[in-house]
Structures are given as structure tokens and as C-alpha cells.
Amino acid sequence: MVNDPATTEARATLLAVARSVPDPELPVLTLGDLGVIRDVRQAADGSVEVDLTPTYTGCPAMAVIADDVRDALHRAGADQVRIRTVLAPAWTTDWMTEAGRRKLREYGIAPPGPAAHATGGPVRLAFSVRCPHCGSPDTREVSHFGSTPCKALWTCRSCAEPFDSFKPL
């Protein structure tokens, strides 16, 4: 890829298009908020190549996400789009943007805490998760696992509402 200003600008546009695609399971979030679009390049043959990283290896939304990105780039004028699944570096919830975290909270899902605490060492520290409905820190985990691989099931002791919490990963 040539590094002239026009190419840089074209790349930025393509990246913005790919990152603005909504997540199929959490439509309040864009793929950019989620941090799963790692790179977009114009290949030598003129086609557009997208590096996409899965949140979970078994995430069933991956095929839909790839199709949606392809469609969005087609609409933006790219004829040939290639989606590359990139496993490394592994996706982490730390890549989620501040805007994404705010949107999750507004949608009723508690955003993820720092990932290092979830996976480092044998003792897993459970950070208190704030209720996205009433803001109370007096909550408890009902189950590590929820309606999608990326969420856990929590309930609030203050307002008694159940809620989803995005798991730190």
C-alpha cells in the first residue's frame, strides 16, 4: 500500500464505514465500539481487506457480522471485500470504547470491568458491578453465563431488577 495522503484518507473512510456497522446482537453498539474491526486495507488488486477479530471463538454472530461489514463496504463503493478472521492478539473487553460503555449502560447492560482482574492468577477477584438501572453497587451475580457468551446474569439487591453484565475478558 502506498502511503500518500489520498490513500490514507481512503483507508480512514473505509475504516469508519466498517466501524459504524451495528453489532447484530447488541445493536446499540457499533463494531467500532466493540473493538472487533482491527484493520481495513486496500489490497494491491483494488479489493478491500478487513481484519475482524471474534469476541468469543464460538460467537454465533461472527458470520452475520462478516456479512454486515461486507454489505456496508459494498454500499460505500468497494466492489471486492475480503474478511480475514484474526485470532491474535486475542480480543479483550478492554478494547471497548468509552462511548460503547456508556451506550451499554443506557441500554440496561452493565459494562465490563478491567479484564486483567478476570483472568490473571488463580484467585478471581469479583469486582462489584453497578446496577445499570438504579446505579446501586449492591448487586450479586446469579450466573457466570447469560443470554450470549459475552454476558453474565446479575441481579440488583436495591431495586430487585435482574440485569445483564458484560463479562470482563
Interatomic CA distance for residues 165 and 153, integer angstroms: 6
Question: By CB under 8 A, is residue 16 in contact with another protein?
Answer: no
The Cα-based distances of 92 to 10, 15, 34, 42, 162 in angstroms read: 28, 20, 9, 26, 25
End-to-end Cα separation, the chain, in angstroms: 34
Nearest-approach distance from CB 118 to another protein, in angstroms: 7
- C-beta closer to another protein: residue 16 or 90: 90
**Which residues, numbered 35-64, are part of the site for another protein (CB under 8 A)?**
54, 56-60
Question: By CB under 8 A, is residue 2 in contact with another protein?
Answer: no
- C-beta closer to another protein: residue 86 or 159: 86
Question: By CB under 8 A, is residue 167 in contact with another protein?
Answer: yes
Nearest-approach distance from CB 145 to another protein, in angstroms: 4
Interatomic CA distance for residues 52 and 85, integer angstroms: 5
Question: By CB under 8 A, is residue 169 in contact with another protein?
Answer: yes
If DSSP codes are grouped into helix, strand and coil, which group holds residue 1? coil
Contacts with another protein, 61-90, as mask; x by CB under 8 A: -------------------------xxxxx
Q: Are 140 and 154 in contact (CB under 8 A)?
A: yes
Question: By CB under 8 A, is residue 116 in contact with another protein?
Answer: no
Instruction: Count residues near another protein (CB under 8 A).
Output: 27
Nearest-approach distance from CB 6 to another protein, in angstroms: 33
In 3D space, the residue among 36, 136, 47, 33 whose CA is nearest the CA of residue 86 turns out to be 36
Q: Give the length of the chain.
A: 169
The grid coordinates of residue 17 equal 464505514
Q: Are 104 and 28 in contact (CB under 8 A)?
A: yes
Chain residues binding another protein by CB under 8 A are: 54, 56-60, 86-92, 118-119, 122, 124, 142-147, 149, 153, 167, 169
